[in-house]
Amino acid sequence: MTAPTRPLPPVNRRRRFDLRSTALFFVFLAVVLCVLGLSARMVADAVERRPAWMFVLAVLGVAGCVGLRRRIHVARAARRAAAALDRAAREAADELDALQPRPGRPAVEVVTDHGALPAAEFETVAGHGATVPVEFETVIDYDGLTPEEFEEAVAALCERDGCSAVEVVGGAGDLGADVLALTPDGRRIVIQCKYYDVSHRVGSQDLQRFGGTCFTVHEADVAALVTTSDFTAPALEYAEQCGIVCVDGEALRAWTDGTGPSPWDTTPGGRTAGWDLAGAGS
């Protein structure tokens, strides 16, 4: 048996006429027209009685238009500034993220008072998932340093190679000591720094002044004179006799890039390792 199907109302059926809604619409329209007419009449009467009001109303209208336009411009400028700040923040975050050490990423250079020092590189320890710093070569550009910056650079090298209690004490009344530290094996090292031009070699008088205080006053186990220049032959002879380590410009660069020994691993007079430095000053 087939169920009877209920006919659907036609889609384009016209809406029934509503007398009440139509009457309310015309009443509302009449009220709006009356209010507008009354306002226009009041303005016309005020302008007729006081013509200056026409100028005031015109000024107010122009000011309102200008203010609205200015607000629109300010809003646009604020949106542009916010967008620019957002882009700058994103770029800064990307740059900071790029500087973070990660496994397999090469080290980046950090510019300090001592020159360009590369930051530590990291690698993953096999089987543990941890990261450890990888040793790197230190690059220091000694050209253009001041004597004070040179002392700080030498102190940084001592600290890099495992020295503790590193101090920069150079200055008036230092009695020949510019850098004091304890070597990795616990010996007290006293370093005098001579930032000289290559044409100005360290003479025996410089060594004699340093030799008169490094052991007796500063109680050094290791005494070293580090220079960017070179030493005269009498200076090297005196240093070997007194047990002072001489580090010239070439040896300094080798110490810096890791291809040469540190002063506490060098024999007095600049010879190869093997001298007992602990007894060299006695």
More confident residue, 70 or 108: 70
Q: Which residues fall within 8 angstroms of residue 160, CB to CB, at 6 or more apart?
A: 138
Q: Of 148, 153, 155, nearest to 189 (Cα)?
A: 155
Mean pLDDT of the region 48-63: 70
- Mean pLDDT lowest among 20-29, 49-58, 114-123, 180-189: 114-123
Q: Determine the average pLDDT of the residues in 162-178.
A: 84
- The rounded distance, in Å, linking the Cα atoms of 14 and 98 is 69
Q: Supply the pLDDT for residue 19.
A: 79
Q: Which amino acid is at 209?
A: R
Helix (H) or strand (E) holding 166: strand 164-168
Q: What are phi and psi of 185, to 5 degrees?
A: -95, 10
Of 250, 261, 277, 252, the residue nearest 189 (C-alpha):
277
Strand 188-194 to strand 222-227: parallel, antiparallel, or no bridges (unpaired)? parallel
Q: Give the number of other CB atoms < 10 A from CB of residue 246.
A: 24
Task: For residues 225 and 195, give the distance between their C-alpha atoms in angstroms, rounded to a whole number.
Answer: 11
φ and ψ at residue 133, rounded to 5 degrees = -70, 140
Residue 55 to residues 38, 44, 62, 119, 226: CA-CA distances in angstroms? 21, 13, 11, 72, 88
DSSP secondary-structure letter at 9? Answer: P
pTM to 2 decimals? 0.49
